[in-house]
Amino acid sequence: MTDPLAPLLELAGVAEAVERSRIACEELRWHEAYRRRWREVRAEAGLRATRASCAIEGARVPLSFVRELATGGGSDPVVVGALRATVLVEQWMPALGAGGSAALPPLRQLLARVHAAATGGWLDEPDVGRLRVDEVPQDLTGLGPAPVGDELAARIDLLDRTLRATAVPALVVGAVVHGEMLALRPFLAGNGLVARAVHRLLLTTRGLDPTGSVVAEVVWADALNPYLGAAAGFATGSPEGVAAWVRASGDAVVRGAAEGRAIADAVLAGSLG
């Protein structure tokens, strides 16, 4: 059977992006902090990923605020939801050093559960975890029209089959799912939070970032317009747009690995906030 995503490896710069991200994550993996304290590094990376993902949505809060929420204090529905989504996807991440790959739920179920975690508490209950039928998405409106109803459901099912059939490197898989989620916007709102949480999950479960501590979200939050512009290019489906999105995803992983290294350094030094 032909791998449905294999042709993407032939697009301009994609193979090089895959190799750069592989090297960056491999170098991160051998940081001394991961010998015994990988759980601390992963947890801190999750807090920073949450903060950055919320910033992309316009909810800009200090990292100390996210820490407070994580310990049961403070209140902000969007940030609380994003943190719940982070905790959920980290439960699916295998322990560092565990053999084999994690078994994830079917894509529809996975997306619904992450969406329910992210939006329960601030989105109307009937819309939580439910694919849109005829409603227009309320977020990411600058990315153009999104499918509805049967077309949307068919696209999600196709993406699910693609995930199960492909063996291309995790960078490409994560980029495709991330980009498709932004293009399809399957839920009424909260699509970006879900897309980025699932992207982080796939990088770990598919073996690119076994540490679970690459924080690509900080790269996108710091360059929001390029991030959304690349997502819009991916949504066109053109070879140039798709290649540019995967290359940008690779760059974000490389820089996100540097963020992971800084976290690991701080864990060893005992200097986390």
Please indicate, yes or no, if residue 219 is contained in any of the structural domains: yes
Quick one: tokens of 260?
């992971």
Percent of the chain with pLDDT over 90: 92
Please indicate, yes or no, if residue 159 is contained in any of the structural domains: yes
Please indicate, yes or no, if residue 40 is contained in any of the structural domains: yes
Phi, psi of 59 (to 5 degrees): -100, 90
Q: Which residues fall within 8 angstroms of residue 79, CB to CB, at 6 or more apart?
A: 50, 51, 54, 59, 61, 65, 66, 69
> Residue 198 burial by CB count (10 A; 0-12/13-18/19+): exposed, middle or buried?
buried
How confident is residue 140, by pLDDT bands cut at 50, 70 and 90?
A: very high
- pLDDT tens-digit readout, 229-261: 999 999 999 999 999 999 999 999 999 999 999
Identify the CATH number of the domain in which residue 33 sits. 1.10.3290.10
User: How many domains are contained in the chain?
Assistant: 1
Please indicate, yes or no, if residue 1 is contained in any of the structural domains: no
How confident is residue 272, by pLDDT bands cut at 50, 70 and 90?
A: confident
Q: pLDDT at residue 273 above 80?
A: no
pTM of the model: 0.96
pLDDT of residue 186: 98
How confident is residue 1, by pLDDT bands cut at 50, 70 and 90?
A: confident
SS3 of the chain: helix, strand, coil, percent, to 5: 65, 0, 30
pLDDT of residue 101: 67
- pLDDT tens-digit readout, 60-73: 999 999 999 988 86
Q: Rounded to whole angstroms, how far apart are CA atoms 118 and 112? A: 10
> 152: closest CA among 133, 175, 178, 125?
133
Q: Which residues form the domain of 146?
A: 6-269
pLDDT of residue 102: 72
Task: Report whether 185 contacts 20 (CB < 8 A).
Answer: no
- The DSSP secondary structure of 201-215, one letter per residue, reads HHHHHTTS-TTS---
Tell me what the mean pLDDT of segment 5-19 comes to.
98
Quick one: tokens of 25?
């994550």
Q: pLDDT at residue 37 above 80?
A: yes
pLDDT of residue 103: 84
Instruction: Round the average pLDDT of the chain to a whole number and report it.
Output: 95
Q: Rounded to whole angstroms, how far apart are CA atoms 263 and 210? A: 15
Q: Which residues fall within 8 angstroms of residue 16, CB to CB, at 6 or more apart?
A: 247, 250
Residue 56, classed as helix, strand or coil, is: helix
- pLDDT tens-digit readout, 92-131: 999 998 876 678 999 999 999 999 999 998 999 999 999 9
Please indicate, yes or no, if residue 83 is contained in any of the structural domains: yes
Strand partners, 123: 120
Please indicate, yes or no, if residue 181 is contained in any of the structural domains: yes
pLDDT of residue 67: 93
Q: pLDDT at residue 204 above 90?
A: yes
- pLDDT tens-digit readout, 74-86: 678 999 999 999 9
Please indicate, yes or no, if residue 72 is contained in any of the structural domains: yes
Q: Rounded to whole angstroms, how far apart are CA atoms 251 and 268? A: 26
Q: Which residues fall within 8 angstroms of residue 22, CB to CB, at 6 or more apart?
A: 169, 171, 208
Look-up: residue for tokens 């309320």? 138
